[in-house]
Structure 1
């Protein structure tokens, strides 16, 4: 029977055991008192064992330079991703706030209570890891379509003045959000370098990835387009999953609730319903852009506490207009 021989190689120091003294342990290597061993000094421990001819020679290599990988499992049986990032319906959203909503009860141009309520609810969802971008209107200060033709003011000039009004609202919202610790960036469709960044799509996406709220101002930068169209456009550009339209009403009604007390709130709609019934939700350009890019739209009341955070999380609130509703509508038509 062959005598097994083990050779231990520790850097340049090696020890051999003879068959007559196989029961003895090899002497410990000398380590100077001024030097402490570390993981880098223990490169490799090679143990080679030669046994009987029936088993054949075997060799195993143990590498101490790599740390063992620990499974990322929480004490509750969930993975770290599942524990750290709860599942919400939307992960990146675009919130459209109309200028009229910022005015509150219309007693002043901008109601600080409204802007603070928006800031607090946006803060509550950004801490959950949801990325939020905003498009703000300017109707509380100046509406270009209403002033066109007054005093010789052409439509293009009136729309540019309205775009400047959206910048004023955006700066006000930014100041309110940053006062409670929300990092915020304002990006304008045309250059106003002293007060805001120019709109750059990749930069906007990077801000969102870093947890900052991005406020898009100045509409699309072109006259004859509304801020609703700007919201649909920016939503498609930054790959947001939904447009959340915050208004002063609970959602979309089948008639004007201000003139008809029996008007019925519609909880779900298709894009075709909006265009065929001429419902005043968004302008046709914005609705068509959302339809072509399969972007759902949620219309809800901004004045009810908690509605913004509910809408951003994907909870049922207001009226949902979207591609899913198209499929649901077609199934109902087949059944009837």
Structure 2
């Protein structure tokens, strides 16, 4: 293939110019310039990008194109060593946070309370800055609950559930916007295609996002009617190899009785999967609990409205109720 003579002449002039500049340096006589030079010791292996000034010293900045430069700074301003030390202090390294739609409503003055979403965003930021990978599944009960509307005006259960899935997408987009407003890179993935507003759920892509430090919000449940977002949380947790489901609700945990009717109801610290199913405790639906049991996924049920509960739950401190796991002996009830 013919090579333009002008290009060859230009390259030869560049090479000769930089060769002479670096072979006979004169201190104090070199003018500031930026350019490429070939390492005279091993020109076939190393290409050096050099920024030189009128006073050359041994600490001039160079970048070896053949080597990978690794940043020593972690996200949110921590050094890598600080992030690794903080990460090792946490009980779980990849978690799935399940946020119910009712929790997003806050005081129920409106469907979504911006104060609640901002509180969630700040809590998630506090743990992602430590290197913890966080995925989120959102419910839609604050906008539309399919099981409650089924049968109304001829609305069948499947159609009602699909409307409920759309409600979770609305919550996910709102939560994504809140998180990105404070600098948290976030992706929304939906169980059925809505390519104009979110990515389709692809397991490998979701895992890659997490590995890059992004928060992934899973919306539209499982994409199938007759399944709750609790089941979607258990399913996504198993698929992305998360270590725990953190179920954030508007109650402090699981009680032995309804605390709204029984003031003496006792908050349970730990439960087994069998106790949840045999006592028919209204923690998660049976499909979700069974899926967690089969995959050895612990579940932590806690109150979202208490500040700091998300980070405390991730660190393994005694918050809420732990299902299917053991408490850290060093943790203290807060």
Bucket of the pairwise TM-score, normalised by the shorter protein: 0.7 to 0.9
Q: Which residue of 1 aligns with 2:109?
A: 107
Q: Deviations over 1:28-77 (max 9, x none)?
A: xxxx9935796548xxxxxxxxxxxxxxxxxxxxxxxxxxxxxxxxxxxx
Deviation at 1:85, TM superposition (A): 4.4
Q: Does 2:254 match 1:252?
A: yes
Taking structure 2 as the reference length, the TM-score comes to 0.74
Correspondence 1:89-238 to 2 at 5 A:
89-238=91-240
The structure number with the bigger radius of gyration is: 1
Q: Which residue of 1 aligns with 2:276?
A: 274
Partner SS, residue 142 of structure 1: coil
Change (3 A) 1:187 1:270: same
C-alpha separation in 2, matches of 1:304 and 1:228: 21
Tell me, yes or no, if the aligned pair for 1:125 and 1:313 is still in contact at 8 Å: no
Q: Deviations over 1:274-306 (max 9, x none)?
A: 000000000000000000000000000000011
Tell me, yes or no, if the aligned pair for 1:144 and 1:158 is still in contact at 8 Å: yes
C-alpha separation in 2, matches of 1:298 and 1:115: 20
C-alpha separation in 1, matches of 2:248 and 2:90: 20
Q: Does 2:8 match 1:34?
A: no
C-alpha separation in 2, matches of 1:224 and 1:199: 19
Q: Deviations over 1:246-282 (max 9, x none)?
A: 0000000001111111100001000000000000000
Deviation at 1:311, TM superposition (A): 1.1
Partner SS, residue 253 of structure 1: coil
C-alpha separation in 2, matches of 1:33 and 1:166: 63
Correspondence 1:24-103 to 2 at 5 A:
34-35=23-24, 40=42, 83=85, 85-103=87-105
C-alpha separation in 2, matches of 1:94 and 1:131: 9
Change (3 A) 1:263 1:180: same
Partner SS, residue 102 of structure 2: helix
Taking structure 1 as the reference length, the TM-score comes to 0.74
Q: Deviations over 1:192-241 (max 9, x none)?
A: 00000000000000000000000000000000000000000000000000
RMSD of aligned alpha carbons:
2.5
After the TM superposition, list the runs of 4 or more consecutive aligned residues in structure 1 that deviate by more than 4 angstroms. Answer: 35-39, 79-85
Q: Which residue of 1 aligns with 2:244?
A: 242
Q: Which residue of 1 aligns with 2:53?
A: none
C-alpha separation in 1, matches of 2:279 and 2:303: 22
Which runs of 5 or more residues in structure 1 are unaligned?
1-31, 42-78, 326-336
C-alpha separation in 1, matches of 2:22 and 2:313: 66
C-alpha separation in 1, matches of 2:85 and 2:307: 28
Change (3 A) 1:80 1:128: closer
